[in-house]
Amino acid sequence: MNREALLEIGSEELPASFIAMGMRQLKVLAEESLKTSGLTFSSIDTYGTPRRLAIAIHGLPPSSPDQKKVVTGPPAAIARDAQGQWTAAAMGFARKQGLKPSELAIENGKVSAVLQIKGVSTRHLLSELFPQWITKLEFPKSMTWEASRFRYPRPIRWIAALYGADLVSFRLAGVRSARWTLGLGPWAPKKIPLTQAGKYVMLLKNQCVLVEPSSRQEAIRRSADLAVKRIHGKIHMPASLLDQVANLVEHPVAILGNFDPAYLDLPKEVLITCLEHHQKYFPVDQSSGGKLLPHFVGIRNGMSVHQEIVREGYERVLAARLADARFFYNQDRKCPLGSKVEALKGVMFQEKLGNLFDKKERVKQLLETLACAAGLAGIPEKATHVADLCKADLVTDMVREFPELQGIMARIYAQADGEPEDVAQALEEQYWPITLSGRLPSSDVAALVSLADKLDTLAGDFAVGLIPTGSADPYGLRRAAVGILRILEDRKWNLNLEQLVDQAVDAQPERLKETASETKTKLKQFMSQRFSALLEERGFKADEIDAVLEMRIGVVPDTLARLKSLQDVRSKEEFKSLAASHKRVKNILRQSSLSEPASDRQPQPEWLKEEAEQQLFAILQKVQQEVSQHAQQKDYREALLSMVILSEPLANFFSKVMVMAEDAALKTNRIKLMWCVAQVFDTVADLSKLQNA
């Protein structure tokens, strides 16, 4: 009879961000190891709270199935002697497998043994698997606290492990697995017996512990809405904050708090940052109009007792935070934003790259080139003004205390100084996109400054060797690269990315010039990798991406147009043979060499001796003209379809003409013909990269 298994890892309170991470890992580890062990299961559920990570496996059979395993041994040549008797090598192999020599067989030139492996009880298997899963969990930070030096984010205090009603026994990190769990923190210090694995969720719910994050989120929504009902308010509840708060508690209880209405004269963004980022409170808006009210909802962990004491504590902490914010805001407003630019000279950006003032000057230098190349006459002056101010808010008291407000405070202070609205907005948006999929700058000015700033950051960090490795990217360079690509796509500017990289690297400090060429190569490769990853996320196939990026990224909107056209036509029957033909042409060119410059690589008609090559040359001239015309009009779909007519004459050419002829002049002329064919194909993409080639 199939049963349910349960593993619960009880510990001191985990960081909120580690809970979802641990739940995901537990599920993956369980699925992989159970399948490897031959154990079937119907489904897996994972649970997590600050004090526990747990996994329930449903539909586990009593034991793993009997298995037949074939083990190969020494080569047949040394397994038998000249008389056909088993050698010592073969008999040693048989002993190792627990078999008689007569039970050995020879297959594919090697001795083999067929082993009948008896199934193992599920409880026994789980006693081995459970500690393995715990050991393999990986977190950004871990600690040791007991003699075995076992690593985990927080000390493990109990482990519950059951198969049905039976204990799964093992010992790890100085803790022996048991058939009990603990309830809600200090309110429930007594051990709670676990009689059945399948009753885990309901048992803890009855003890005021919601082990499912989704249940805690729903409880927070419900209780928060109820708390603000009497003041006719509406909860401001971002999904990211709800996720975080739900992983800070096991039994959420909403508490409505208040703050001095006088603080409402602070910018709304400042108030929300104080409430959400620093205190993890939910702001309260008016039911209509969206104006912030002098109230908040805090979520406590535990029973609904001593609410007034908790509320007073929440309000007291928030009042201190808001008083600080008001002080910093008033201090910053004593002088305009532009007066703070000089202070950037005292803030180091990077030891080898200089201070923030130096960075700002490099951004201004890049802006002139970008604006000119993008055809944005009249923009440079305004963009330069934005670039002058773009880092000034980093030396304000407000941003020093609340780093989350960088850019936002620049906009707010610029508006207060009477700057034009588009300048103020650009000062905030020059940081966009903040996340990989975040909002893009809404104006040409903001987009130009953002582009220049990100290019400078990438070029500088690559120049001094701060290059992302593996999953580590402490300077957010992958995000910056994707931001550049998305901005170029969004604005549809005719800017060549390779040239932008060259200009950004050339703008770096003089002492980095010696390695500029290497920096450019590495950064271009990095940008190509980020573009490839971005395109794969959008559903393009890897070989299509390789085919287009083989020709370099170039102008991003143009590259995307080529990729979309290739994706559209590659499935058409009449197009499929082109990839194979292109691959064959490329192979021929790799085996040969042309010393002539590209301008002198046209084949001579008088040296086209065979009818098949004459026919190919005649059709190629027509196709060259059509493809070139379509490419100039950016109609890459038609350019690709125009190549289809080459399929038949190319097939005829390959079947009847020897390219590598003994006559040197004939051979060179045919290689030139292949070079011209490749040039036509390469107009849009390297079709030889397609997998059906």
The answer to whether residue 600 scores a pLDDT higher than 90 is no
Span 304-361, pLDDT tens digits: 778 899 999 999 999 999 999 999 999 999 999 999 999 999 999 999 999 999 999 9
Confidence at residue 20, expressed as pLDDT on a 0 to 100 scale: 96
Question: Would you give the DSSP letter of residue 190?
Answer: S
Buried b (16+ CB within 10 A) or exposed e, 181-217: bbbbbeebeeeeebeebbebbebbeebbbbbbbeebb
Q: Which residues pair with 111 in a beta bridge?
A: 106
| Every domain of the chain and the residues it spans | 3-64+121-206, 67-117, 213-332, 338-539, 569-689
- Whether 77 has a pLDDT exceeding 60, the answer reads yes
pLDDT score recorded for residue 118: 74
Percent of the chain with pLDDT over 70: 99
Is pLDDT of 70 > 80? no
Output 78 or 188, whichever has higher pLDDT: 78
Identify the pLDDT of residue 583: 87
d(CA 129, CA 525): 42
Q: In the chain, what is the straight-line distance between the N-terminal and C-terminal CA atoms, in Å?
A: 53
Q: pLDDT tens across 398-457, in order?
A: 999 999 999 999 999 999 999 999 999 999 999 999 988 899 999 999 999 999 999 999
Alpha carbons within 13 angstroms on the beta-carbon side of residue 258 total 5
- CATH architecture, range 569-689: Orthogonal Bundle (1.10)
Q: Name the pLDDT band for 598 (thresholds 50, 70, 90).
A: low
367-385, pLDDT tens digit by residue?
A: 988 988 888 877 778 899 9
**What pLDDT, on a 0 to 100 scale, did the predictor assign at position 381?**
85
Contact 177, 168 (CB under 8 A): yes
pLDDT for the residue 72: 84
Residue 13 is classified by DSSP as P
**Tens of pLDDT, residues 140-151:** 999 999 999 999
pLDDT at site 474? 80
Residue 586 confidence class, pLDDT cut points 50, 70, 90: confident
Tell me the whole-structure pTM to 2 decimals.
Answer: 0.81
All residues at 6 or more sequence positions from 690 whose CB lies less than 8 Å from its CB, including other chains? 543, 544, 547, 570, 579
Q: Coil, strand or helix: which one is 86? A: strand
Element (H, E) at 258: strand 252-258
Least confident of 85-89, 290-294, 561-565: 85-89
Give the CA distances from residue 117 to residues 111, 123, 326, in Å, rounded to whole numbers and listed in that order.
19, 17, 73
Strand partners, 496: 555
Tell me the C-alpha distance between 567 and 637, whole Å. 9
Model confidence pLDDT, tens digit, residues 347-365: 999 999 999 999 999 999 9
Whole-number average pLDDT of the chain: 91
Is the distance from CB of 7 to CB of 54 less than 8 angstroms? yes
Sequence length of the chain is: 693
What digits encode the pLDDT tens for the residues 260-269? Answer: 999 999 999 9
pLDDT at position 693 over 80: no
Q: Answer yes or no: is pLDDT of 273 > 60.
A: yes
Statement: residue 5 has pLDDT above 90: yes
pLDDT exceeds 60 at position 35: yes
Per-position DSSP letters for 485-539, written without gaps between them: HHHHHHHT---BHHHHHHHHHHTS-GGGGGGHHHHHHHHHHHHHHHHHHHHHHTT
By the 10 Å C-beta count (0-12 exposed, 13-18 middle, 19+ buried), 38 is classed as middle
pLDDT of residue 692: 66
Place of tokens 């549809």: 492
**What's the whole-number mean pLDDT along residues 531-538?**
94
Picking from 365-369, 485-489, 493-497, which range would have the lowest pLDDT averaged per residue?
A: 365-369
Angle, vertex CA 499, rays to CA 444 and CA 548, nearest 5: 95
pLDDT average, residue stretch 165-185: 95
Of 103-112, 122-131, 414-423, minimum mean pLDDT range: 103-112
> In degrees rounded to 5, what are phi and psi of residue 249?
-135, 160
Give the pLDDT mean for 602-620.
89
195 — pLDDT class (breaks 50, 70, 90):
very high
Q: Which of 191, 173, 196, 138 is nearest to 6 (CA)?
A: 196
Nearest residue to 503 (alpha-carbon basis) of 367, 375, 384:
367
Tell me the H-state helices in 390-476.
397-401, 408-416, 421-429, 444-463
